Every structure is written in structure tokens, then in C-alpha cells.
Structure 1
Amino acid sequence: MSKKVLLMTQNFYPVIGSSGNRMKNIYQLLNENGIDADVLTTEPAYPNKNMYKDSEFWDEESLNEEKHKIIRVPIKNNRFQNHILSRLFFYLEIMYRFLLELWKLRKNGYDYILVSTPPIFIVFSAFIGKYVLKSKLILEVRDLWPDSLIGVKTFHNKPIIKIFRYLEKKMYRKADSIVINSIGFYDHIKVKLKEDKPITYMPNGPRQYEITEEKPGTKEFRVVYTGNLGLAQDIDHLKQVANLLHAEGIRFDVIGYGVRTEEFVNYLAENNLNTVHVHKPTTRKKSLELIKNSNVAVAFLNDEEVFSTVLPGKIIDYMTCKTPIIAGVKGTAADMITENETGFTFDQADVEGIVAKIVDLKNDKVTEQQLGENGIRTVKEYFLWENNIKKLIDIIK
């Protein structure tokens, strides 16, 4: 008899971004490997609910047909505002609606609940669900909370932060197993545990069919940035990169979404940076296609210490597409890029150094090609989902 698992997550196909893609891959690969997995999620709404009215985002027919296994709860308060109270009510509504669904699912015989955090409020509903469903619980950590909340400087209430830190410890200690997507999280979580508990590193990555084996030739040298333009991504330095690339006459493509997208677009217009092309949020397939057709990819993270533990999904996507990386990052992400020779890393403030290295690569096709080959080798060795899912299967079986 196969094991049954309920995945609980805010973001799931067709939601764009690394979290939705991660949970989609976990769901598909568990089912392909003899584990009966279902999903409890919200209706797609990030970053904009209306965009999912476009059929282009619903591009996997097999998932569209599995409505009996993918339970989507409607959320009335779906505005992704930065105001702390608005977000609090949003997460509380998700928690409430998930609890209602868990009560309906109590006779389904789930052996495990796998819950993805952040947000932490979904984890609270999963802890209650653990007893309602009589299941074990796997906590899947995609971001360190509340440190990431503090890192983006949106919340500084010390008494409430103290409560959040207490809840964080309880969250780790109550889980039966913990899965992390960045090795940088390991020490942070380990010191908060009272007893020895398995912490399994299962990074984001591509599926085998997504890997670029042959990179197409490009007539024009192109630089690309994809992903969130939010509070963690250091948009101010990205603006400066756009300015300097324009001065060099280098095309810069940006697929961006998030709370600072409008600010970035307005900056380009005000400064007449017409070599910078901003694309609307699109499917993962089209995003990978744009990266594949670019010569260099850039990434930035906020300089706060918490972000030194993060390995952004976009960096793995860049390697998947055989595209060299120039990044203003430190810690885990910088170590991965440097040790595997998939690109070059700089201090976030060294914008001139970043652009100078891009110009160097424009004139050095041999190095550009070698960095791309190193990226593919690294992805195949460490980041393929078909290999890494075995770690989660071992926990469940």
C-alpha cells in the first residue's frame, strides 16, 4: 500500500516563481515514484490574480486535469500589499480556510503532511492538521522566518519579534522532519532544536528536460535578470547596473514582478534607458527561453546578514540555461558560484566592477562558454530534481 502525503503550500502551479515551481515538482515526482500526493493550496493570486485568467499560464494539461488531487481554496483578501496589517489578515484568512479543508480531509488517511514555510501561519494550521489527520509532519523551509521579515526592514516591533522567534523555535521542534532548500539554513535551525532531528538539504533545481544542452548563437550581446523585484533583491543597485549597461550600449532584458517593479520601470522611463527591456511576468518555459538566449545573467540580494544564507532559485535557473552569472551576493550563493566557477561575485555596492566584468565577458567568448559549461555540470551533479527527490522519498518511506 502506497504512502499518502498532503502538501500544504500557499503557492502552487500555475503560480510563477521558485516556490510554486518547487512544490509542483515535489507533487509530480512523488506521484511518479509511487507516493500518493495531494495538494492543499490557494487559488493562484501572486503577484496578480487577474494574470491567471490568461490560459498561457495553465500550460501543463496533466495538472489541469487533476482537480480531484489539487484542492484550491479561494481567498477574498488577495492584495499583496506591503502594509503589515494587510498581510497579517491575508495570512490569517489562509490559515482559517486551510483548517476548514483539513477537517474535511480527516478521513483520507494521510501518512504525512508536508507544509512549506513561509508564511508561518500555514504551518500553524498544519500543526493542528497533524493531530486531526493523525499524520507525521515534514516542515519544508524555503526562507528563514522571522529573520527575512526583519531583513527587508518592514517590521521592527521588538516585543512581537520576540514572540515570532519563540514561535519559530516551536515550529522546528514540533516537526517530525525538516527539509531545507539552502545549506545555509542548516546551522541556524540546528541550534534551535532541543534534540537531534533530521534536517535534509533538498535544493531547488531543474527537471532533466529543462536543461540547455546546446546554447543558441546570438547576434546581439544580451544581459538578463529574472524574478522578484522586491524588498530583498537590492533594486537600487539593479537600477545602477541598468544605467551603466545602457551607457555601454548593451541590451538588458528584465522579467520582473514584485512590490518595486513600478519603481524600477519609472526609473528607466525617467532616464530614457531604452536599451533596457522590461517584460511582463510569464511562464517558466518562456522565462528559461529568454535566459537561454542571453549571454550573461545578473542577480542581487539585499546586504542584510539573513540573505547570506539564501540560494536564490534564479541562480540555478541561470546555470540550467548555460548562462554565466554576475552577482552582487555573499555567503551561500557567492560560495556556490565561486567554488563551481559558474560566474563571478561582487560586493553588492560594486556596481562598476559588475558592469566591467560583463564588458570583459562580451569580449571573451572562450570564458563565457566555459562558465556556461561549468553551470550545466554543476546543475547535473547537485541540482536535478529527479535525483534530489529521492531524499524526500527516503523520509516518507
Structure 2
Amino acid sequence: MTKKVLIMTQNFYPVIGSAGNRMKNIFQLLNQNNVEAHILTTEPAYPNKSMYKDRVFWDDEDLNKKTEKIIRVPIKDRNFSKNIIKRLFFFLEIMYRFILLMWKLRKEKYDYIYVSTPPIFIVFSAFFGKKLMKSRLILEVRDLWPDSLIGVKTFDNKVIINLFRILEKRMYKMAEYIVINSKGFTKHIKSKLKEDSTTPIIYLPNGPRASEIVETKIVDKEFRIIYAGNIGLAQDIDRLKLIARMLNDRDIYFDVIGYGVKADEFTEYIHSNDLNNVVLHKPSTRKKSLELIKNSKVAIAFLNDEDVFSTVLPGKLIDYMTCKTPIIAGVKGVAAKVITESQTGYVFEHQDVHAIVNQIVILKNNPQKLLQLEENCLSTVKEDFLWEKNINKLLDIIS
């Protein structure tokens, strides 16, 4: 008998970034493996709603046709603000709209509800659906919340933070299964569960589809560096500015595909300092972003130095490996361990910008070492991060 699953997420195709791509892959691969998966999501709005009026982002005709399986909740046209209070009200609005939709769907028989967090408020609308439809709940944790909220240093109200911690513990306890995209989350989640808890925690990392993996790099005379992804509160924008200046001074091209609350600040810095070797690219589709990464020799990643971010495995790292592009990163913890053990690049203290740039120059003058790192990227992504292989962990739960 075919199982039926309702996936609840704020981020879904055509939303750019790791979260939207992750949920797209889960939805497609479940449906391709004899599971009837439906999506309950919002209208695309990250990093802003207006950009999705451009049909270039709607580049998957298969998903464009699956309208009966994709339910989109309309939301107000709000940009993702730095103001945490405004963002919280935005998330509460989504929770309220999801609850209304769950009531309309109450006669549907879903065997499982698969809900993705953050934000955690969507999870509580999933609890409503779990009771209403008598479904089992699979909770996906893509970020430790509220710890990550504290980590970006925008909100420190202890009363509300403590309330969020109570909600977080409740969230873990209500789930029959917990799915994580970083092994670094395991210890934290177990500490929030009872000692005798038997709730399974399943590691399901981000990754590429087989068709996205780059087997052969394009040979290009230009030595280009790339940064792709969020330029937000979790990233160290001051270090990124300094790297851009130092690469420009060394006549090395630096491509940046950036979006997020700090993107405008970074853009202004590049223009005001006449950094002519820094090329800024507007947010684009995953296909175009991977193409740009593929044409780069080295990729850069950054997270700020808060402990909570040592548990994170950023999706951009896997995208870099997918394109056979070695990584130089200012990260620690899980991300640093993955890069070091797979020998796909180099890791430095996030504030050690000079060491990062010096390593880029060393690689520029050592093409043989670059080739070895590229091959390590290819073998690692095939072995550990391929979606067609890892989706079996989720299929085993559902079946």
C-alpha cells in the first residue's frame, strides 16, 4: 500500500538556498520511490518575494506541473528583516495560515507529517495536524533554535529565550522521528530528550543529485575564487570584506553570489572601494550558481565564531564539492572536520584572513595540488552526500 506524506516547510522550490533545494529533493525522490508526497509551503519569498516574478527561477517543468501536490499559502510581501520582532511576527503569521490549511485538509489521510525547522512555529502547526489527522510526525532539524538566534546577537531577551527553550524541548519530545542535516546536532538534541528516550535521530545531509555532480572541471586560464550563498547575520561580513580587498590587491578575480540581510552592505563596500576584480552576481537559479562555482578554482566559506555554528554543516560546502571546487574556510567544529578529514580543502581560524589569502596564493602556484583536492571533492560527494543514495534512510522510516 502506498504511503502518504505531507511535507510542511517554509522553503521550497523555487526558493534559492540550501533549504529550498533540500525540500525539493525530498519531495521529488519520495514521489519517485512509491511514496505519495504532498507539500504545504508558502509562496516563495526568500530573500524577497518580488524576485520570483521572474520566470527564470521557475526552471523545473516537472514541479511546475505538479500543482495538485503543492499547496502554497499566500503571505504578505515582507522582506526578511534584521528586526527579530518583525521576523517573529512573520513566522507566527505563517503558523496561523498553516493551521487554517490543516483544518481544511483534516479529511485527508496522511500516514506521516514531515515538518522542517527552523522556524519552530511551523512545527506547532504540524502538531495540530498530527492530532487532527492521527499522523506520525517526522521532525527535521536544519538549525538549532533558539541557540542560533542568540548566536547572531540580535536578540537577548532572557524571558522570551527561556520560553523558546521550553518550546524547543516540547518540539523534540512530540516527534516520533528526528532527522538532522548535521551530525553536530545529535548531542544537543539528546540533551533535550529524556535519558530513556528511544526517539531515533537520523542523519540525512544536504547533497547533490547525481546529474549535478561535476566529473570534469573546465580548464580556464583565469584563476577565480568564489563565495556563494548567504551574506547574513551568521556570516562574518567584515572578514569577507577584507578577503575581497586582499584578493583584489593581488589581482585575483573574486566572484560573489550573495544574498541576505548584509548583502547590500557588502555591495556598497565593493563599489565605494573600487574593487574592480570583485564581480558581484545577483541571486540566481541553482543551475546557474553551480555553473559559476564549476568555473572557479577555489571556494570560500565563513561562519562567525559563536559556538552554536560549530554544529552546522553549511550546504554551500557540499555545493562546492559537487563542482570539484576545493574549499578554504573560516569555520570550526563539524564543518571543519568534514573538510579536513575528506582532504577537500583547508581550514583556518575564521579571523585569520591573511592565512586564508596566503593559502589561495599557494594553490594558485600549485596546480597539481589543486587537482588532487578536486578529485577528493568528487569522491567525497559521491560517497557521502548523494541524494539518490541517502534518501533510503527516509524511505526506511516511511515504509
Q: Same fold by TM-score, threshold 0.5 exceeded? A: yes
**Is residue 110–residue 135 contact of structure 1 (8 Å, CA) maintained in 2?**
yes
- Contact 2:229/2:257 (<8 A) preserved: yes
Q: Which runs of 4+ in 1 moved over 4 A?
A: none
Task: Determine the structure 1 residue equivalent to 2:137.
Answer: 137
Hey, what's the Cα distance between the residues in 1 that align with 2:76 and 2:270? 34
The amino acid of 1:136's aligned partner reads R
CA contact (8 A) 2:227 2:257 kept: yes
Amino acid in structure 2 at the alignment position of 1:39: I
Corresponding residue to 2:205 among 198, 203, 219: 203
What does residue 193 of structure 1 align with? 193
Q: Return the letter of the residue paired with 1:87.
A: R
- The letter for the 2-side match of 1:354 is I
Given that 1:299 and 1:326 are in contact with CA atoms closer than 8 Å, whether structure 2 keeps it comes out as yes
- In the alignment, structure 1 segments of 5+ residues that lack a partner are none
Contact in 1 for aligned 2:7/2:40 (Cα 8 Å): yes
**Residues 45-71 of structure 1 deviation map (CA, whole Å, 9 limit, x = unaligned):** 111111111111000001001111000
Which of residues 381, 384, 394 is equivalent to 1:382?
A: 384
Deviation at 1:79, TM superposition (A): 2.5
Give CA-to-partner distance per residue, 1:325-356, whole Å, 9 cap, x none. 00000000000000010000000010000000
Question: RMSD of the alignment, in Å?
Answer: 0.6
Q: Which amino acid aligns with 2:31?
A: N
Residue type matched to 1:313 in 2? G
Partner of 2:158: 158
1 CA distance for matches of 2:375 and 2:33?
A: 30
Identity of aligned residues (%): 68
| Corresponding position of 1:90 | 90
Q: What is the identity, as a one-letter code, of the residue corresponding to 2:297?
A: N
In the TM superposition, 1:209-358 aligns within 5 A as 209-358=211-360
Q: Is the 8 A contact 2:181 2:205 kept in 1?
A: yes
Taking the aligned partners of 1:85 and 1:306, their CA distance within structure 2 comes to 21
- For residues 88 and 172 of structure 1, the distance between their equivalents in structure 2, rounded to whole angstroms, comes to 20
| Shift of residue 78, structure 1, vs aligned partner | 2.6
Counterpart of 2:372 (choices 348, 370, 373) is: 370
Aligned to 1:396: 398
1:327, 1:340 → 2: CA distance? 14
CA contact (8 A) 2:49 2:77 kept: no
Report the Cα distance in structure 2 between the residues aligned to 1:57 and 1:79, rounded to whole angstroms: 18
How much does 1:165 deviate?
0.8
Residue aligned with 1:319, SS: helix
Q: 1 CA distance for matches of 2:51 and 2:87?
A: 20
1:26 corresponds in structure 2 to: 26
Give how far 1:77 is off. Answer: 5.1
**8 Å CA contact retained: 1:10, 1:41:** yes
Equivalent-residue separation in structure 2 for 1:218 and 1:41 (angstroms): 41
**Deviation at residue 170 of structure 1 after TM alignment:** 0.6
Tell whether the 8 Å contact from 1:16 to 1:46 is kept in structure 2 after alignment: yes
Q: Does the CA contact (< 8 Å) of 2:57 and 2:284 recur in 1?
A: yes
Cα separation, 1, equivalents of 2:198 and 2:65 = 41
Distance 1:139 1:378 in 2: 27
1:237 aligned partner, one-letter code: R
- Deviation string 1:119-173 (CA, Å, 9 cap, x unpaired) is 0110010011101111000000000000000000011011111111111111001
> Displacement, 1:196?
2.0
For 2:79 and 2:328, how far apart are their aligned partners in 1? Answer: 33
Q: Can you give the 5+ residue segments of structure 2 that lack an aligned partner in the other structure?
A: none
**Which one is further off, 293-302 or 264-273?**
264-273
TM-score w.r.t. the length of structure 2 is: 0.99
1:85 and 1:238 map into 2 onto residues whose CA distance is: 27
TM-score, normalised to structure 1, is 0.99
Distance 1:331 1:40 in 2: 33
Residue 85 of structure 1: CA displacement? 1.9
Distance in 2 between the 1:281 and 1:389 partners?
28
DSSP 3-state at the match of 1:227? strand
